[in-house]
Amino acid sequence: MTLPGPLSLIAEVTHRCPLHCVYCSNPLEMQARERELPTETWAQVFTAAGELGVMQLHLTGGEPLAREDLTELVSAGRKAGLYTNLITSGIGLAADRLQALVQAGLDHIQLSFQDSQEDAANEFAGTRAHARKIALARLIKRHPVAFTMNLVVHRQNLERLEAMIALAEELETDRVEIAHVQYYGWALRNLDSLLPTREQWERSLAIITAARERLKGRIAALDLGRVGGISEIPRRRLDARAVPQLRPACTRFRRMPLPGFGAHGRCYRYRSRVHACTGARHSGSGDRSRQRDSRATHAPGVGLPHRSAKRVNGRLL
């Protein structure tokens, strides 16, 4: 049996990120900045992908804008004949840099949003980013580049799904993706706070179905994304006995410590109700610190030390 060739290449070009999301999919043990593949190696990968018949290049991370050579990476993708998509939080994307990326051959931008309400969005992201994303979305519309708005949904924001879709309409996005968090990395650590109830899930499906019909011809596509992926979790996880539907919302999220962020964009330490996670080790290099896996001692739902906990040799005790 002959398998068809790949059509898309997902290039995770960095693990650095200015956000501090409670559902971050970054691994607990990240690649340091000095171990990232150089521009020339990525260009070779893109060329080889094009020769294999790959059509799409998705630049992701971490935050790909953390790389100073992102314009060169986009240019390499264009030279390889790939449709290039930037998957980004938008932090670090100023007007002049956006112009340079478009001129280098960027075809598409996927911008993530954490909520429709600014305070809640900043809480989930761990930094004051929402207003900057709104401004960037309006800036993107001035350029000849396709624009997808990625709405990340979970237990804490599904009640505002209609308002989130309305925000996408207001920003005149070309496409909307409703993407449920994927339960690995930090989302798995925060599963009890993020996993929707079955009532929330069913209501969200009805809202998305109605929006698809209502927005025909106005938004090119409104994708279910990974909301349907909830069904892949064993049914008992969605049963009221396992996830009580009357359980008070929990906002004591586990997050990866964030000592700083690369060359592009300032890191705002917005830590309202944020608690440090044990096992953190600051690198002191300005990049996000590495995090060793401590699942054996910290399963979801177990209390965490406050960020003022005693620190010895860079580790929280």
Specify the CATH number for the domain of residue 81: 3.20.20.70
Q: Is residue 35 part of a domain?
A: yes
In the structure encoding, which two tokens stand for residue 52, read together? 């294999």
Q: Is residue 24 part of a domain?
A: yes
83-88 vs 175-180, strand pairing mode = unpaired
In the structure encoding, which two tokens stand for residue 103, read together? 């001129």
| Residue 121, beta-bridge partner list | none
Sequence letter at residue 205: L
pLDDT of 121 strictly over 90: yes
Contact between 159 and 197 under an 8 Å Cβ cutoff? The reply is no
Please give the model's pTM, rounded to 2 decimal places. Answer: 0.73
In the structure encoding, which two tokens stand for residue 159, read together? 């009640």
Q: Is residue 253 part of a domain?
A: no
Confidence of residue 5 (pLDDT cuts 50, 70, 90): confident
Q: Is residue 261 part of a domain?
A: no
79 is in which domain, residue-wise? Answer: 8-245
Q: Which of 90-104, 125-139, 233-247 has the lowest mean pLDDT?
A: 233-247
In the structure encoding, which two tokens stand for residue 100, read together? 């340079």
Q: What's residue 274's pLDDT? A: 27
Q: Is residue 165 part of a domain?
A: yes
Sequence letter at residue 50: G
CA 191 to chain centre: 16
Q: Is residue 296 part of a domain?
A: no
E strand or H helix that includes residue 83: strand 83-88
Q: Is residue 47 part of a domain?
A: yes
Q: Give the helix, strand, coil percentages of the chain, each rounded to 5.
A: 35, 15, 50
Which residues contact residue 94 at a Cβ distance below 8 angstroms, ignoring those fewer than 6 apart? none
pLDDT digits over 250-278, tens only?
A: 445 555 444 333 333 333 333 322 222 22
Distance between CA 137 and CA 172 in Å, rounded?
9
pLDDT digits over 50-109, tens only?
A: 999 999 999 999 899 999 999 999 999 999 999 999 999 999 999 999 999 999 999 999
Instruction: Indicate the number of domains in the chain.
Output: 1
Q: Is residue 16 part of a domain?
A: yes
Q: What's residue 188's pLDDT? A: 86
pLDDT digits over 156-202, tens only?
A: 999 999 999 999 999 999 999 998 888 877 888 888 899 999 899 88
Strand, coil or helix: 232: helix
Q: What's residue 223's pLDDT? A: 61
pLDDT of 280 strictly over 50: no
Contact between 93 and 65 under an 8 Å Cβ cutoff? The reply is yes
Distance between CA 288 and CA 286 in Å, rounded?
7
